[in-house]
Amino acid sequence: MKIKNIFLASANPGKVREFQTAAHAAGIEVKALPGFSRLPACVESGSTFEENARQKAIHYSSHTTELVFADDSGICIDALKGAPGVYSARYAGPGASDAANNQKLLTELRLLENGSASARQVPAQRAAHYVCVIALARQGEILTVVEGRANGAIIDSPRGSSGFGYDPYFFYAPLGKTFAELSAKEKFAVSHRGEAFRKLLEYLCGWFATAR
């Protein structure tokens, strides 16, 4: 079977590897977009994950004739009206570390718990979900947009050393573990990013079958 290539609008080697593993079985090769770091940066001004994913896919695909996909993802807390949302990576401010973002999130949740500084958990206030939206484009035109979601809850103490971002605090009930306690393969099987990418692969298999 001939390998088909798609390009990720990212210079993150870890993210490329994550997508590569899932795509290989479908005969699709995921590669980092050549020269990505030298291209003009896309200004993400959207108020939703979909808007940002679309902006990035359109922007970066306009610099090549290849298929390009881009993702935007984050965590949403029901009790915080969906925050951090699209600001997940910079919740504690521009350039904030994962530790700073997590600390702000816990502080905001505890304020909802009547200002208590204790680690008391209130399930209704701790419900959370990760969202990932992937947009696929070619030469500045969107071909498809897919979305994945993973439901969980925020715990007070970090568990696990894998993953990144809010993963040590994101408890996934079906497996009884946080995302940071899962292997990369286990996490991709149940994560928001994994669900979205499987939907993208389904679309791509049909697209490549009919493309001339």
pLDDT per position as a tens digit, 33-63: 999 989 999 988 999 999 999 999 999 999 9
Residue type, 184: A
Question: How are the residues of the chain apportioned to helix, strand and coil, as percentages rounded to the nearest 5?
Answer: 45, 25, 30
**pTM higher than 0.85:** yes
Residue 31 lies in domain: 4-210
Number of structural domains found in the chain = 1
The yes-or-no answer on residue 72 being catalytic is: yes
Residues with Cβ within 8 Å of residue 2, at least 6 apart in sequence? 27
Q: What is the mean pLDDT of residues 11-29?
A: 84
List the one residue out of 148, 130, 140 whose CA is nearest residue 54: 140
List the catalytic residue out of 72, 78, 98, 167.
72
Rounded to 10 degrees, what is the CA torsion of 94, 97, 99, 103?
0
61/169 Cα distance (integer angstroms): 35
Ramachandran assignment for 88, one of left (phi > 0), alpha (psi -120 to 50 degrees), beta (any other): alpha
> What CATH number does the domain containing 177 carry?
3.90.950.10
Q: Is it the case that residue 123 has pLDDT exceeding 60?
A: no
Q: How much is the pLDDT for 2?
A: 60
